Amino acid sequence: VGSRFTLAVPDDYLLRRDYCSYGYFLLEPNLWHIPSQTLRRVLDLDGGPARLTVAQPGGGSVSGRLAARGTPLRAVADRVLSRREVVQARLLLTRMLRLDEPAETIREFHRVDPRWKRSGRGRLMRSPTFFEDVIKTVTSCNVTWPSTVVMNRRLCGVVGRGGAFPTPHRLARARTATLRARCRVGYRDRRISDLARLFASGAVDPEWFEDPATPDEALWDALIALPGIGPYAAANIMQLLGRYHRLPLDSESIRHGKAILGMTGSDRQIMKRMHEHFAPFGRHAFRSYWFELWEFYESRKGPSWTWERETTGTSFTAAVLNTR
DNA sequence: GGTAGACCTGGACGC
DNA sequence: GCGTCCAGGTCTACC
């Protein structure tokens, strides 16, 4: 029997809705277990990898009830964790689930964009570490979703310890040829390797990037300077850091602008109009943009907490793209 | 300042 | 089956 611990959450927090809120929830080592409506994931802790299951009591129903909101989360590990490891696991889960984002911030978002007040959407999941967010973003650039799924599966299976996401040190030690041949990252091999070395050596200090006091512009410049990080990736990492002012616009945004918002013109013009369209939402712009996209996906695939990781990898983008 | 072409993988399509 | 084409951001070279 493994260790158990609880996690307090903000009063609006609903695990299935707030965890299944961004595509990374479908990427390994993350797994949303649909029958039990629980989050399962391996964390690489001080004493080695541990498989955690996180549930929200009362949140297991797939119906639309919001009764479980604010109920503390229960985490169970598959082995005994030291006190230090429990602290570590709490910090990682808190970052991933954004449990330290106050309910008041979400209420403010709903005042700015009332469309999401009813569902309560507003929180976005991310990775337990800044490093994983950066690498996952690189694996999502210039590929279709199924390739991103494969890259993350292989990185965890080939390089990560016990199926966990690789640490900077482990990834820095992996040969680029291994990343290319076995992890299927293609030409990203060198960039991923370089990023891992920057983190492992301390040249990139996650604390500086995570610090709310770091100015937006300085953050942007530092991100753009990283290998494999261009304007889209930098803007996406900014939102993962909780800075929602900038929109990471990609080919999906163009599709959305044309199909849903009825925009016309060249791709370049649509990009510009998208930025203008969401600018009034200010520091919540990305949330407004993202939940519009998410609502479109859910209109085709049902609620995100019913999406199968294994089939979504191949069918998801195809189904969405067929609407063009 | 902007932009053409290369980068790699996997899915779609035509034969 | 097998070959060809294409989607998808970043980077370099060049204007």
What is the arithmetic mean of pLDDT over A8-20?
A: 97
Nucleotide nearest to A324 (CA to C1'): C7
Whole-model pTM: value is 0.96
Question: What is the pLDDT, as a whole number, of residue A1?
Answer: 85
What is the arithmetic mean of pLDDT over A129-154?
A: 97
User: At residue A63, does pLDDT exceed 50?
Assistant: yes
Length A236 CA → B1 C1' (Å): 25
Whether nucleic acid strand B comes within 7 Å of the CB of A146, the answer is yes
User: At residue A320, does pLDDT exceed 60?
Assistant: no
What does the alpha-carbon distance between residue A168 and residue A131 come to, in Å, rounded to a whole number?
Answer: 7
A130-139 and A188-201 are packed helices; what angle lies between their axes, rounded to 10 degrees?
Answer: 170
Length A250 CA → B3 C1' (Å): 18
Whether nucleic acid strand B comes within 7 Å of the CB of A184, the answer is yes
Length A71 CA → B7 C1' (Å): 48
What confidence tier does A276 reach under pLDDT thresholds 50, 70, 90?
Answer: very high
Length A233 CA → C11 C1' (Å): 14
What does the alpha-carbon distance between residue A40 and residue A31 come to, in Å, rounded to a whole number?
Answer: 5
Whether nucleic acid strand B comes within 7 Å of the CB of A187, the answer is yes
Contact status, residue A53 vs residue A75, Cβ threshold 8 Å: yes
- Residues by Cβ under 7 A, strand C: A 141-144, 147, 186-187, 191, 224, 226-234, 250-252, 321
User: At residue A215, does pLDDT exceed 50?
Assistant: yes
Contact status, residue A136 vs residue A120, Cβ threshold 8 Å: no
Show which positions of strand B are touched by protein (CB under 7 A): 3, 7-12
Name which of A51, A204, A213, A47 is nearest A130 in CA terms.
Answer: A204
**How long is chain A?**
324
Read off the DSSP letter of residue A43. E
- Cis, bond preceding A29 (omega within 30 deg of 0): yes
Rg (CA), chain A: 19
- Sign of the torsion formed by the C-alpha atoms of A307, A310, A315 and A316: positive
Contact status, residue A120 vs residue A69, Cβ threshold 8 Å: yes
Q: What is the pLDDT of residues A65-105, one digit of tens each?
A: 678 999 999 999 999 999 999 999 999 999 999 999 999 99
Q: What is the pLDDT of residues A234-262, one digit of tens each?
A: 999 999 999 999 999 999 999 999 999 99
Residue A59 backbone dihedrals phi, psi, to 5 degrees:
-100, 10
Whether nucleic acid strand B comes within 7 Å of the CB of A62, the answer is no
